[in-house]
Structures are given as structure tokens and as C-alpha cells.
Amino acid sequence: MSNPSDFGIPTGEDVFKEIAKSEQHITVKTEARRYGKLITLVTGFDKNVDIKAIAKGLKEELACGGTVKNGIIELQGNHQKRIRQVLVKLGFAEDSISD
């Protein structure tokens, strides 16, 4: 038997994930760390989203390293110019992202 998501039909879980993404209030800022290295911090995620999957998608799209600590995504380097379009590509509403 086939799964409905195999045919592009959204399941209840998929719809819930999309609603959760649209209700986020994401903040993006940079911070200087040791030796003047810049990192980009992405905060404001609820418990309803898979933050590790989002971090993985951001790292792949931005071609950088990073980690998740205490609900905050830390990306190596200054990515404020591109991160908004990548987050929108991952399914977040553009008006919910602030710098």
C-alpha cells in the first residue's frame, strides 16, 4: 500500500510542520567570538520544529559549519545577507524573520 506523501499529498503531520514554521519569530544576528571570528546566530524557534534539521539545511545551503546549542543555531561566518532567502526556501515566512 502506498503512502499519501509518496504522491505529493500532504499528510496531517506535514501540514502541522508547515503551520509551525509559519508561526516562528526568527531573529538573525552576528557576534564576534575569540580572535575576531564572526558567527551568525539564529534564534526564536519553538519546540514544534526540528531545529537540528533546520541547522543541517542551513549549513548545506550556506556551505559552512555550525552547531545547535540551547535552541540557538550557530553558523560559522557572517551569513546575514543570504540567510533570509535560505530560511524562506526551507519554508519559513519572510515577514517572521528579523535582523
> Using one digit for the tens of pLDDT, what is the confidence trace for 33-82?
989 999 999 999 888 788 999 999 999 999 999 999 999 999 999 999 99
Evaluate if residue 32 carries a pLDDT over 50: yes
Q: How many CB atoms lie within 10 A of CB 10?
A: 12
Fold of 27-98: Translation Initiation Factor Eif1 (3.30.780)
Residue pair 75/82 in contact (Cβ under 8 Å)? The answer is no
Write down the pTM of the prediction.
0.76
Give the dihedral of Cα atoms 34, 37, 40, 43; nearest 10 deg.
0
Evaluate if residue 15 carries a pLDDT over 80: no
- Specify which residues 38 forms β-bridges with: 32
Please give the order of strands across the beta sheet that includes 97-98: 66-69, 72-76, 38-43, 26-32, 97-98
Please tell me which residue, 22 or 93, carries the higher pLDDT value.
Answer: 93
